[in-house]
Chain A
Amino acid sequence: MARIRILHLYSQVLDLYGDYRNVDAICQRIKESGLEVEVDRPELWDDLVLDGYDLVYVGHGKAANLAEAARALVPHADDVRAHIDAGQVFFVTGNAQELFGTSLTTKDNDELPGVGLFPYRGVEKNEVYVTDMVATPVFNATEVFYGFVNRTAYLQGPNPYPLFHNVRGPGEGLESKGVEGVLYKNFFSTWAMGPALIRNPFLMREVLSRMLGSSYRDDLDFSLEERAHKLVVDEMRRDR
């Protein structure tokens, strides 16, 4: 039986708002597909090895923790960029997106370098901004994404590879231009945190299909999640 490998990066410090359950849900779906799955969770001090992983997951974290994650990750920037350019699947939520831009500015105004894959930069404000968000994914214009954004930072600068168009919700930074998130090759990122993959079955399917390739099964039962998704999207439409 094929074994799928997931790298949940710095999960000890990037662990806010339940979005680690996205990884649990991915694992459930992989098992339902008849495959084995293992998850490695390296800490800040461990060697970073990206080879052999079918998915790299990086979640949202407290600002102080994100700064430490940046210090740990950026020395491996060349390797990270090479793996993403080679098509490795990444799923990145919330402020962890900042890690992949040119820099991160902390609440104390320290500017830390990012991985430098994308031309935006992250700016920490230490003020809570929350919103519901609906948007259209670039890979399927018939779908509607629902997400919840809860952030204290924003991204500044250009976003040449948006994941979503027609964004309603986030208003500051580059999302004000109506685009949100990143889809670059197989690198996904979004401000929507928490169970974004569970609440958006179409996105879960997209990520699974890119991870599993020919082993992906499209007959998995998403009926409960789809009903929940339809309900929230309908509510958002009514609220307009």
Chain B
Amino acid sequence: MGIRFISTSIVSRGLSRIGAAIGRGTNLPGEVALRMYPEVLSETSFPGKVIAVTGSNGKTTTSNMIAHVLRKAGYSVLNNARGSNMKPGIATTVLDAVGYDGTVDFDYVVLEVDECMARFVFDDIKPDYFLVLNLLRDQVTRNGHPDVVFDKLQAAVDKVPAATLVLNANDPISQRLCNAKEPIYFGMERIATSTSTSESGTQDMKVCPVCFHTLSYEYYHYNQLGEFRCPCCGFATPATQYSGSEADLSNGSLLINGTRVATGFDTPYNLFNAVGAAAVCCGSGAVAPERFAADVADFDVEKSRVDSFDFEGRKAMVLMTKLNAASLDQSISYAIEQPDKEKVAVLYVNNALYTDLKDISWLYDVAFGRLCGTISKVVCLGSRALDAAACLKVAGYPVQDIIYAIDVSRVKELLRQTVGSIYVFAASAFGDEGRILEELRDGKN
């Protein structure tokens, strides 16, 4: 390997260690490396298998789950568990592990990849398996609508004709991705939380993408995910090779191809993630289904999006949600299904950090009507608190039960005006979503 490659990887590794020591992000070392030597990733070789994981929701959890199962099975695994899923962050992860001969000597490299950036990552790194969990309306200020993201993702797929796609059969959007190889489909049969109508504020595939007639759904899991069929042209949920069924959300278990798997997850979307992980781990031949079941059982879900604690003798839970309606809808579902006698919610919404865009259009895609009769008060906080309150009003939530303030440091004071368990919906997208947790735990007021 040439001196330029070696010096670039040394610089990246050095910056990465400094970054880790001072608790900084993982983008910078890779960014510097790619500037020093743009071909550094394409000159890296991967003798093992590369698994890429993407999707609007669930890619961090699922890629970490896959890495966990493969490690437990005895494989050496490199993954970007702490890294960014953009190309610079992935470069940091890879260059941290590359040898001076340019080889990343691991049995498996598991990479979480941003759905809009995969097309750039795949210029240099060619995955053997590409798991796409879902495509939902997400961070509209960055991504636009799912068709735009789909086109970017298909452009990524076009660059990896040899990759085996692992696709969610229940998602009529992302399951249409294709290359020359036969994909592996995974999905989930009807479970207790499935519904006959979409309970989400929106769903992005009301009509058939082929002939534009109304899609008929047997059931919905959430948003556009479910079992569907076009009565006109026959576009339908494809047959699955890996299927989840008989889910028991009380203990987080489900059957995957007949094998009982205890995931510990109590939400449908995380069960989907487990089936997707099984499709990759078992479909690649890395582990048998029984082994997957045994090894996934002690996977400790990344906790940063769910945090439980005590607030002045009351149960409180912070649910970090992405700036997408599906994520917030699922957090709401979780909150309203909890058996607490009385519940209040906090809705923390800010301008998008960095851009400072004042958009809250995505909030209007959320099914807030479900809070009526289930959540006794809603406290709106953050720079867009008043807009959030207006949104709740349009959804039919009683105005007299909405409390709002822009200043997040008032959260304790405002919560003392309420009773019951507290569910905090902290909408995040590179914002200061963690601030509300700090205020609740450490704030002075």
In the bound complex, what is the Cα–Cα distance between A65 and B209 (angstroms)? 9
Q: By the criterion CB–CB under 8 Å, are A225 and B390 in contact?
A: yes
Q: Is B214 an interface residue (CB 8 A)?
A: yes
Q: By the criterion CB–CB under 8 Å, are B358 and A236 in contact?
A: yes
9-residue interface stretch from A9-17, A135-143, A174-182:
A9-17
User: Please, what's the 1-or-0 string for B128-172, where 1 marks a CB less than 8 Å from any CB in chain A?
Assistant: 000000000100111111111001000000000000000000000
User: Which residue on A lies nearest to B213, using beta carbons?
Assistant: A45
Residue from A17, A45, A127, A199 in contact with B387 in the complex, judged by beta carbons closer than 8 Å: A199
**Shortest CB distance A14–B (Å):** 11
Q: Is B357 an interface residue (CB 8 A)?
A: yes
Q: By the criterion CB–CB under 8 Å, are B386 and A28 in contact?
A: no
Name, among B140, B206, B351, the residue most crowded by chain A CB atoms within 10 Å (CB to CB). Answer: B140
Given contacts A150-B140, A195-B394, A236-B358, contact A17 B364 (CB under 8 A): yes
Q: Is B391 an interface residue (CB 8 A)?
A: yes
Q: By the criterion CB–CB under 8 Å, are A224 and B393 in contact?
A: yes
A126-157 residues with Cβ-Cβ distance < 8 A to B are 126-128, 130-132, 146, 148, 150, 152
Residue from A43, A128, A199, A228 in contact with B389 in the complex, judged by beta carbons closer than 8 Å: A228
Q: Is A49 an interface residue (CB 8 A)?
A: no
**Shortest CB distance B213–A (Å):** 7
In the bound complex, what is the Cα–Cα distance between A222 and B355 (angstroms)? 29
B187-217 residues with Cβ-Cβ distance < 8 A to A are 201-202, 204, 206-207, 209, 212-214
Q: By the criterion CB–CB under 8 Å, are B364 and A194 in contact?
A: yes
In the bound complex, what is the Cα–Cα distance between A25 and B141 (angstroms)? 23
A198 surroundings in chain B (CB, below 8 A): 364, 390-391, 394
In the bound complex, what is the Cα–Cα distance between A148 and B363 (angstroms)? 13
A1-40 residues with Cβ-Cβ distance < 8 A to B are 12-13, 15-21, 24-25, 28
Given contacts A17-B361, A17-B362, A28-B394, contact A239 B201 (CB under 8 A): no
In the bound complex, what is the Cα–Cα distance between A198 and B391 (angstroms)? 8
Q: By the criterion CB–CB under 8 Å, are A18 and B201 in contact?
A: yes
In the bound complex, what is the Cα–Cα distance between A228 and B142 (angstroms)? 24
User: Please, what's the 1-or-0 string for A92-132, where 1 marks a CB less than 8 Å from any CB in chain B?
Assistant: 00000000000000000000000000000000001110111
A167 surroundings in chain B (CB, below 8 A): none
**Shortest CB distance A78–B (Å):** 24
Q: By the criterion CB–CB under 8 Å, are A224 and B144 in contact?
A: no
Q: Is A86 an interface residue (CB 8 A)?
A: no
Name, among B351, B357, B399, the residue most crowded by chain A CB atoms within 10 Å (CB to CB). Answer: B357
Q: By the criterion CB–CB under 8 Å, are B212 and A62 in contact?
A: no
Q: Is B356 an interface residue (CB 8 A)?
A: yes
**Shortest CB distance A191–B (Å):** 12
Residue from A17, A68, A126 in contact with B365 in the complex, judged by beta carbons closer than 8 Å: A17
User: Which residue on B lies nearest to A232, using beta carbons?
Assistant: B358
Q: Is A82 an interface residue (CB 8 A)?
A: no
Q: Is A193 an interface residue (CB 8 A)?
A: yes
Name, among A13, A17, A64, the residue most crowded by chain B CB atoms within 10 Å (CB to CB). Answer: A17
Interface residues on B, range: 35 or more
In the bound complex, what is the Cα–Cα distance between A148 and B387 (angstroms)? 13
B360 surroundings in chain A (CB, below 8 A): 194-195
In the bound complex, what is the Cα–Cα distance between A235 and B384 (angstroms)? 11
In the bound complex, what is the Cα–Cα distance between A193 and B362 (angstroms)? 11
A63 surroundings in chain B (CB, below 8 A): 147
**Shortest CB distance A127–B (Å):** 8
**Shortest CB distance B352–A (Å):** 10
Q: Is B302 an interface residue (CB 8 A)?
A: no
User: Which residue on B lies nearest to A11, using beta carbons?
Assistant: B206
A128 surroundings in chain B (CB, below 8 A): 142-144, 148
Q: By the criterion CB–CB under 8 Å, are A132 and B358 in contact?
A: yes
**Shortest CB distance A6–B (Å):** 15
User: Which residue on A lies nearest to B365, using beta carbons?
Assistant: A18
Q: Is A44 an interface residue (CB 8 A)?
A: yes
Q: By the criterion CB–CB under 8 Å, are A65 and B207 in contact?
A: yes
Residue from B140, B142, B355, B399 in contact with A224 in the complex, judged by beta carbons closer than 8 Å: B399
Q: Is B300 an interface residue (CB 8 A)?
A: no
Q: By the criterion CB–CB under 8 Å, are A148 and B212 in contact?
A: no
A225 surroundings in chain B (CB, below 8 A): 390
In the bound complex, what is the Cα–Cα distance between A62 and B390 (angstroms)? 26
Q: Is A220 an interface residue (CB 8 A)?
A: no
Residue from A25, A152, A228 in contact with B148 in the complex, judged by beta carbons closer than 8 Å: A152
User: Which residue on B lies nearest to A228, using beta carbons?
Assistant: B386
Q: Is A83 an interface residue (CB 8 A)?
A: no
Q: Is B359 an interface residue (CB 8 A)?
A: yes
Q: Is A227 an interface residue (CB 8 A)?
A: yes
19 contacts between A and B (CB under 8 A): A16-B137, A17-B140, A17-B361, A17-B364, A18-B365, A62-B146, A126-B148, A130-B141, A130-B142, A130-B144, A146-B358, A194-B360, A195-B391, A198-B391, A224-B389, A225-B390, A228-B387, A228-B389, A231-B386
- Residues of B whose CB lies within 8 Å of any CB of A are 137, 140-148, 151, 201-202, 204, 206-207, 209, 212-214, 325, 351, 355-365, 383, 386-387, 389-391, 393-395, 399, 406
Other A-B pairs beyond A18-B202, A45-B213, 5, CB < 8 Å: A12-B214, A21-B364, A126-B148, A132-B358, A148-B358
Please give me the 3 A-B residue pairs with the lowest Cβ-Cβ distance, nearest first.
A194-B361, A18-B364, A228-B386
